[in-house]
Amino acid sequence: MSSCCEACEEFTIKDDKNDTDERYKKLAIITISGVFFVLSLIYEFFIENFLYSQIFAAIVTIVSGAEVMFYGIRKLMQKQITINLLMTIATIGAFLIGHGGEGAILMFLYYIAEFLEDYAKDKSKKSISSLMKLAPETVFVKKNEEFIEIHTHDVNIGDIVQIKPGDVISLDGIITHGSSNINEASLTGESLPLFKQVGNEILAGTINCDGYLEIKITKSSDQTFITKIKELIENAKNQKSTTEKFINKFAKYYTPIVVFLAFFIMFIIPILFQQQFDTWIYRGLTLLVISCPCAIALATPISTVTAILSAAKHGILIKGGKYIEEMAKIKTIAFDKTGTLTEGLIEVKDILSFDGAIENWFGIVYGLELLSEHPISNAIIIEAKNRKIRPLKINDFKAITGKGVSGLYNQNQYFLGNKDLFQKVNNLIPIEHELLNVQDEKSIIYFGNKEKILGSIILQDKLREESKEVIDILNKRQIRTLIISGDNKNAVFSTQKILNLNEIHYELKPDEKQNIIEQYKLKKNKIAMIGDGVNDAPSLALANVGIAMGGIGSDVSMETADVILIKDNLRDLISFLDISYKTTSIIKYNISFSILIKLAFVFLTFFGFMTLYIAVGIGDLGVTLIVILNAFRISRINFYSKKSNIGKTPLENKKCNHNNGKCMC
């Protein structure tokens, strides 16, 4: 089977190779710089050879900082002052006053911070290729009464394509032959497979669960529904403006003012007031040392690197410091339902008996479901085992497509299925039982015989153990919560009632989810979105902060998101909020503290109460060390406690035994 067309394959291989080569190059730079920095420290503090320590520090600066310094100088020539220029001035200034080690660590840590953010951005480039992998690249097209395998690019609108049980659908089309249950969870978030028959539309990226189909192609490979999602992701990413960091804005004015003030002190004051040049040049040099922006420049990167590494150790992958600061401002969080607030697994919510005890007839249900290949049969089997009910032997089993199953027990025929099944056997559901339909019809299964309904089984998408706990915490923190889901009204409403969310939106397509996020942003409301599916990807991309569930999340949602909860536990959302608050607070404190101390030292320098030694030891190096140590406090934050998951892993939980595991329902 062909993997992809030659042009796509060549582009993908080259692109991946370039990304890999660049990543290895940066890792080599970090490794070499780290080795020489350690040597610099050894020669300065243990061997006490100042010259060699400065040489090694210079090597660190050149290896890790050449690109940073070149960029800063180039932007200066374009009359732009950036953080790179601040780093360059700070590093050169540190070497000029004999503190090369300080300049080296400044450039080294900044390079590591940039590497972490660039690495995360590079991974997001793969989201498009991962998205398109949802749909196979070859299909079987009907040609002269035979089905021939060809690439999807070569399929024409109107061609007839064969879809076998368990196949992932490659192109959008209309069913012309057959019927089947179609799993659309990857696109719509609907937890239950939908029954489709002749005349119904099916979409690329969805899964054919159990029936043989032939479909008439309605859209070419570059116009499918899944391609539209890809375009939405690209557009949303482009709309995400890169907010300029506070330190960059500050640097725009800080550096020119410091240089002008130093020049004024060294040359203008002696001329105007007929003072000695030696005295005022010394004070001017002291001012330059005090004003060296090491501490100010380090305040943000050292804090964000510490936060990112600390979060990663606890299973929270943050793709850049920007999202830490953004999360601290969030006032609204939008949740997908299926796979986010719920586990994406069907379970039995309740069993109602209309004829005696449940145990009197549930063994027959158990026996029927053991023979069934429908995706929901596993949930009923688990419930029977939990109730310690034994299956009864069923004869003459029949699957009634799109309606349910039937079979004989003790020569009596029994039926298990939806409302339509019992209407077919001329056994209408009594009025009092119709009250059950306040739930979604698709989530109710009836059991009975030709004479009467014996009972019903109500199904639901299983809520995560921690969902209620997390929503309660968000409500207490006055963070608005809402559901934006592709699932049906009743299922979403039921989830809201249990969890006490503020707002719900249901039966949404990916572009409609994205519109809700956009409406909040237009009102200047900071909003985060948390989801797990392909259908969530456009919304994740557009939100101020996009958060993906890592355990069962799709590759596309994880690569599109700004933050990934690797352990697939919603409690990590609270931990991410906590670390965002703590990091932002420390960054603001470090910047404010550095500026205030330096302003105080400037005042003392102007009146001659400051020496160069004190300026270096306290005003520069001392403040820098305080900033670094304060940033390290982030690593000591207490992450929100998570209960251990009992039993199977999320991936094992999602696996079903239907169709020998091929269905992936």
Active site residues: 336
Three-state secondary-structure class, residue 242: coil
* 247 token code pair: 């330190």
- The torsion angle over the Cα atoms of residues 146, 148, 153 and 156, rounded to 10 degrees, is -10
Compute the distance between CA of residue 159 and CA of residue 145 in angstroms, rounded to an integer.
Answer: 12
CA geometry: angle at 461 spanning 458 and 467, to 5°?
125
CA geometry: angle at 411 spanning 408 and 415, to 5°?
35
CB 658 within 8 A of CB 374: yes
CB 359 within 8 A of CB 386: no
H/E element, 312: helix 294-313
Length of the chain, in residues: 665
Compute the distance between CA of residue 155 and CA of residue 136 in angstroms, rounded to an integer.
Answer: 13
Task: Give bridge partners of residue 250 from the DSSP assignment.
Answer: none
H/E element, 162: strand 160-163
Q: Are strands 453-463 and 146-151 parallel, antiparallel or unpaired?
A: unpaired
H/E element, 321: helix 321-327
Q: What is the 3-state secondary structure (H, E, C) of 470-524?
A: HHHHHHHCCCEEEEECCCCHHHHHHHHHHHCCCEEECCCCHHHHHHHHHHHHHCC
CB 179 within 8 A of CB 225: no
Compute the distance between CA of residue 619 and CA of residue 291 in angstroms, rounded to an integer.
Answer: 8
